[in-house]
Amino acid sequence: MRQWMLGMLGALACVSYAHTDLMLTTTPNSVAVSFECTQADPNRRPILSGPVERIESSSAIVHYTLSGADATSHDYARALSEAVEKSLSVQFDRLGWRRPPPDCGLGGDDRLDVYVMHIASGAIGQAVPEQIVGDNPNTPQVERNSAFSYLVIENDMDFLGSAAAQGYTADPFDLMRITAAHEVHHAVQFGYNAKNAYFGFYESGAVWLETLVYPDLTDAYEYTALFQNPDLCLGSRADRRRIYAEWVMIDSLTRDWGLAAYEQLWQHLAVRDNLPAFYDGLEPLGTTVEEAVGRMAIRNLLLDYPNGDRFPVTVTVSGEVSAVGAINSGQRGTQQQAVDYLRVAPGVWEFDVRSGRGITLRLVGVSGQTAASYTLGRSGTVDTRPYDAAFLIVQNTLRHRQTEDCYFTIWTLDVRAGDEAALTSPDPDMWSAVYYRDVLPVGGR
């Protein structure tokens, strides 16, 4: 579900998403579902406020009306039809996703049904997983919680009038287009699993999909919660916008392992539940969640993403290394599969993790428009003097099985002069720092 929210200072800061309650109620994948089309209930579909018009494309049917509370226009409906078809084409033809199970002809036939309506809740788009069918016949794996669904898209985006009064303008057609791209992806996800408890992967994936379908329209870059609180665990819902900001993790993964990697991960989430399914899905790609989070953390620091200049903030750097001695996380620490950033002054520094189970270290040195990284593990030595800026990434590699099981790990590092220690070799990667903006610590530790 897509909701539009006005941010601070009257600016349109972000868009927040939430699924229907069905997504929040999970059942074990070991429980089989037996469904026949004779059980399908057409009365569960939305009822429009006036005579129904239809626009049909190869993969979808848009249902709309020109009268009553749900009234829209032919132009709006046609543009929506084109947006839905474009999103489906990107997913099926470019990315190789499998189609959701057929919906038993509800809405006319087995194409995806999209209803244009006024949404009283304030949402501007909804993907409704209508019926769990069990296995999706269009996929090679055997699912337990595959579902067919329908979409509801706001009929006019008229709330943009109040946004304009606060100094923000937006094209309602463009907002409708990225909303359609987002919600269409939820419908495709539901074809794999409509009840996976790793809730954040639905929303982060749908935001990332926007960047492929409409790279110039997406508001993905306005999600800043991951940059502002990098020490919260993967999938954290402590900040409800955090899971949408994690689209950068999917972008980072696909840049390392190809666009098909994301769909391959969903093949695992289709048959296993929660974060272990994600961890297991990374193994066939030749990586681990620890490596994936670490590489994302480097890219976040450098803003190393397409259109990285569009991010309105940089990562939070919580401390600085400028002298020998002990440095600690303070009372908060770092949660599982999350990081803290420390700025490092020029020098030859030897780092050792004194305490903190699962804590490992990486160092990034920025030089002009490129950056080098060093994987230190629990200890290592780096000469940071050749770099314009250097940062230590403190990563918690402990794994959590559920996003509700997040807790902070307190850590302490020993920092020594490293003039007599063997230097750690840099990683083979050369990172782009084209969009890097200088980052200063927000407070010492």
Q: How far apart are CA 133 and CA 270, in angstroms?
A: 13
- Report which listed range, 30-34, 218-222, 323-327, is most confident: 323-327
Ranges of each domain in the chain? 2-194, 319-432
Mean pLDDT of the 384-408 span: 96
Q: How confident is the model at residue 30 (pLDDT cuts 50, 70, 90)?
A: very low
342: closest CA among 288, 287, 382, 400?
382
Helix (H/G/I), strand (E/B), else coil: 103: coil
Percent pLDDT > 70 in the chain is 89
pTM value is 0.91
pLDDT of residue 9: 20
Q: If you search the block for the tokens 């020998």, which residue do you land on?
A: 324
Q: How confident is the model at residue 430 (pLDDT cuts 50, 70, 90)?
A: very high
pLDDT of residue 23: 35
pLDDT at 322 over 50: yes
pLDDT of residue 3: 58
pLDDT at 93 over 50: yes
For 18-41, letters b (16+ CB in 10 Å) and e give bbbebbeebeebeeeeebeeeebe
For 431, list phi and psi in degrees, rounded to 5: -95, 150
pLDDT of residue 51: 98
Q: How confident is the model at residue 272 (pLDDT cuts 50, 70, 90)?
A: very high
Q: How far apart are CA 236 and CA 220, in angstroms?
A: 18
Q: What is the DSSP letter of 241?
A: T
Class of domain 319-432: mainly beta
Mean pLDDT of the chain, nearest integer: 90
Q: How far apart are CA 372 and CA 431, in angstroms?
A: 6
